[in-house]
Structure 1
Amino acid sequence: MNDALHEPLKAAVTDAVGGRVTALADVVRTPLEYDAFLAHRTVSRVSGNALVDGERVSWSMIEKRTEGPALASAYLLDNGRREFDAYASGVLDGVAPGIGTPRIHGRLLDPDGGMILWLEEIRHEGARPLDAETLLTAARDLGGMGGLWVGRRLSEPWYFTEWIDRHSQPEAIEQGLATLRRGDARAAARLGDRLAAAEQLVLSQNRYRAILESLPQTLCHHDAVGANVFHSGGRTVLIDWESIGAGPVGADLASLVFSSVRRGDALAGVALPIVDDALDAYSTALRAEAPTITFEEIRLGFDAAIALRWKLAADVVAGIEKGQPPRRGSLPDESPAVALDELIVLVDLLLASADRALHQAP
């Protein structure tokens, strides 16, 4: 073991096992799958044995490490610091009655600016991709969190503020419009009138931004996709709080429904038929805490947040042109034909939500 990590890790194990640790032995790090594009971030299960008050005790936890600025990108560092600060601040302690977070056992800031979090390992009690029951439970619990934080002062300097740009990707709009306008015969045959609707969606991004900024704001996870949603111990537990910050009511539900299908964390045939039920579950729980918020505001936030994800339509067109539909990262062995079918169904939700948001907006 790295000598510099020995004492901090021992302190984390002490917190985890609840006794005085005098020695660690047999420490093993097992890398876990993580988004490949996040170079210089590692997530591992670290386990071993500890001598605790004279007794040998086995232990295991998650070690999340982000390298310092000499290696990691500014994007990655920003995300890593935000989660680091969120745990240090206490915001995640009891963030909402129905929402759990991994308990933090320890954290370390390297001399080179790198960060390590030692976190409780959460195990999902259910199927993946997520089933309808888990999605509806998560929708309810996200709504409860949203309602609890509506109207609170959300001014922590490290809160994420650029979530709209992250989803709407203004830097990609020019290329996206060019893709939609190319008139590829195969794309036109498969997508039909969706192409014109998708072009209008891209051109309306500033309107969706204005809608979202006008709605009641609350505390959002901003990455509540299925991979970050666990059913554990009878409650919803969310991991990866790297994007925590203010956002409109309904935004986290858009991540849960839309982005989960996009990534393959949920199947379109499971998630999309329960959209109305998910909205009801989310809004009922939110309005129990914040009764002044209307269902119409929640639905508008949900639809406008989905409308930010216009790039799915351009990616589907580009995939049809290349004969290589976009992959869904949580389903690496999915056949291209199935992936394309799933994503076209999701494009339909995208366009329907975008149209509804413009007609709902005051």
Structure 2
Amino acid sequence: MIVFCGYANADLTVAVPVLPGPAARVQATAVRRGDGGMAANAAVAAARMGADARFAGAVGPDPLSTEFLRTLDADGVRTDWTSRTGVLTTAVVLLTPDGERSIISQDDQVTPGHVADVAGRARAAGADWLYLDGYRFPAAAAVPGGPGGPALVVDLDGCDGPRAMRAALDAADHAIVGRAQAAAFLGADAGAFAAAASEHRVHLVVTDGARGWTLFTPGGGRHGGPAIEVTAVDATGAGDCFAGAYCAELDLGASPPDAARVAAVAAGLSCTRPGARDGLPRREAVLAHIRATPTEPTRTDAPAGGAPHSPGPAERR
């Protein structure tokens, strides 16, 4: 079981010819509403990849929140640990014709107490994995962990500064982050990312859009792979898709490099349809693409003085 704790959003997507600058004014070409949120999207991505996924965020008691949870249930995501005492927040997504976007999000009511309660439930239920988004740190750095508990996967995008990111890295077994965010908070080159993985004893996946991904292991290993070539319609939710698919592959027994390779394909496919949720692919589509498309082999660099470190999903620090 994978428990996803974090953002749930009602997305308002506004198509614009260009992203506006300060004091600029642009005319929207389309406006649509849909479901979103980092953790909720990742939970759906994991469920569509075949995982036993549970969403444990915070929404409201209103009909819109009820419908939001119904759509998660329809995708096979259990929602009984979701708090109904908050509100379903709104995210405004500005989307350009080439699929790039800027997002304005609203703070939610996933409190440190809620995170601690979900972590305790996950441990008691024998969950294998707990996902948190980066907005929970540094407050969630004391999430219950240790032997016998779920391994922690953190999507670092959303961390508010270096202190929050380092607190998340300290807590996590696996962490995923976009290259721009990693460079801003950890350092601008691969050496800084490798040092962070080693220092915090974490498997750190740095994603870089169309340029692919690199995984830095605690033992100094480095693995990388390409993104797939697609005509991007909407990149909203692609990072959430990568995180959810990565969790699902780990839960199914894949090594971290193999999990990242499959997650990259899923994330690429997710960009070919509009919306954060509609484009999330199912496992059969991802595997069919892998079988049908010759891909560049995963790049592997050995740590100094030894063979590549490629631990299985059950490894704990």
Q: Normalization by structure 1: what TM-score?
A: 0.27
Larger Rg: 1
Normalized per residue, the structure richer in helix is 1
Q: Normalization by structure 2: what TM-score?
A: 0.29
